[in-house]
């Protein structure tokens, strides 16, 4: 299903600064970028780059003098997903069988201190045998216990805070989900993207857990359908996949984000405890 996605970020630059943006829709075997355009107004030279560490598409630019500028991205993207409903396809993968590329997602990261959550995770979720049900129960627990509250957290808030303070935004919900999965030896990674029917419209963050040999999507906020996500980036946590990293003295003065579909047949898909169907963007 095709989605039109777009964002526009506006910055006030006070001193020469460098920006790294991560707003392009990812190109993967299952996500096709049909059209896209990136505009910077007024024009500033920029370059796209990737890293050996990931397939995320970064844009970098240097702003050499104080000014105001806008960066806008528009694309038509066709992300394919699979619904997986066989029990065996949602089994945990023992650490000994994990692919080497997946193993780094077992370890703690800046905002996901899984090493400090082990007792909590085992006491609360350790007895659930089906891995998909286990992660689903984690997201239900987060959804029920953490209040979605704009402005309640900041860029330094981590899973160790959120698990007790119980308020946050999508980023915090994702970090907590990731940390709890890793504490149970389930690989988990951060996911940022455009999100259809997210209200209020914004960039979205959720997470993927590695179950049955695939990355399955989970969203503890339940703010948007799982089948309306257009992936921008994966990472260990928000440190790897910030929409914008800035080096210098700048202020973001406006953010506009949106996602639409022309397809009248979109049927929102959310998980239900009774059916145990997982959704994977692989």
Q: How far is the CB of 196 from a second copy (least distance, A)?
A: 29
Among 18, 28, 32, 130, binds a second copy (CB under 8 A): 18
Residue 63 bridge partners (DSSP): 17
Among 52, 199, 200, 275, binds a second copy (CB under 8 A): 52
CA angle 97/214/20 to nearest 5° reads 110
Q: Is 42 in the site for a second copy (CB under 8 A)?
A: no
CA angle 101/137/191 to nearest 5° reads 40
Closest CB to a second copy among residues 1, 20: 20
Q: How far is the CB of 96 from a second copy (least distance, A)?
A: 4
Q: How far is the CB of 18 from a second copy (least distance, A)?
A: 4
Cα dist from 158 to 59, 78, 138, 172, 180, whole Å = 26, 33, 17, 7, 12
Question: Which residues make Cβ contacts (< 8 Å) with residue 45, sequence separation at least 6?
Answer: 61, 62
Among 31, 109, 192, 280, binds a second copy (CB under 8 A): 109
Among 39, 85, 247, 251, binds a second copy (CB under 8 A): 247
Distance of alpha carbon 166 from alpha carbon 159, whole angstroms: 10
Q: Are 47 and 59 in contact (CB under 8 A)?
A: yes
Pick out residues in 122-181 that bind a second copy (CB under 8 A): 123, 145, 147, 155-156, 160, 163-167
CA angle 234/145/170 to nearest 5° reads 30
Residue 6 bridge partners (DSSP): 74, 258
Q: Is 51 in the site for a second copy (CB under 8 A)?
A: yes
Q: Are 268 and 242 in contact (CB under 8 A)?
A: no
Among 42, 94, 151, 264, binds a second copy (CB under 8 A): 94
Q: Is 120 in the site for a second copy (CB under 8 A)?
A: yes
Residues lying near a second copy in the complex (CB under 8 A) are found at 18, 20, 49-54, 58, 60-62, 94-96, 100-101, 103-104, 106-110, 112-113, 115-117, 119-120, 123, 145, 147, 155-156, 160, 163-167, 185, 236, 239-240, 242, 245, 247
């Amino acid at each position: 299903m095709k989605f039109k996605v777009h964002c526009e970020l506006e910055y006030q630059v006070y001193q020469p600064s460098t920006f790294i943006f991560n707003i392009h829709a990812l190109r993967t075997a299952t996500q096709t970028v049909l059209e896209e355009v990136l505009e910077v107004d007024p024009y500033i030279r920029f370059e796209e780059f990737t890293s050996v560490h990931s397939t995320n598409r970064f844009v970098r630019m240097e702003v050499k003098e104080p000014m105001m500028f806008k960066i806008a991205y528009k694309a038509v993207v066709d992300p394919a997903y699979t619904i997986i409903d066989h029990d065996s396809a949602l089994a945990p993968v023992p650490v000994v069988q994990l692919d080497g590329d997946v193993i780094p997602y077992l370890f703690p990261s800046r905002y996901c201190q899984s090493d400090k959550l082990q007792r909590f995770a085992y006491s609360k979720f350790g007895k659930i045998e089906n891995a998909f049900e286990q992660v689903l129960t984690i997201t239900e627990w987060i959804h029920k216990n953490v209040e979605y509250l704009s402005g309640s957290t900041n860029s330094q808030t981590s899973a160790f805070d959120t698990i007790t303070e119980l308020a946050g935004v999508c980023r915090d919900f994702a970090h907590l989900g990731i940390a709890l999965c890793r504490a149970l030896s389930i690989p988990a990674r951060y996911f940022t993207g455009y999100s259809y029917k997210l209200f209020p419209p914004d960039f979205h963050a959720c997470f993927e857990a590695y179950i049955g040999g695939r990355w399955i999507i989970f969203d503890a906020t339940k703010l948007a359908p799982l089948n309306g996500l257009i992936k921008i980036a994966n990472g260990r946590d928000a440190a790897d996949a910030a929409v914008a990293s800035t080096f210098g003295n700048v202020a973001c003065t406006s953010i506009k984000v949106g996602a639409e579909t022309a397809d009248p047949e979109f049927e929102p898909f959310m998980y239900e405890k009774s059916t145990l169907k997982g959704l994977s963007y692989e």
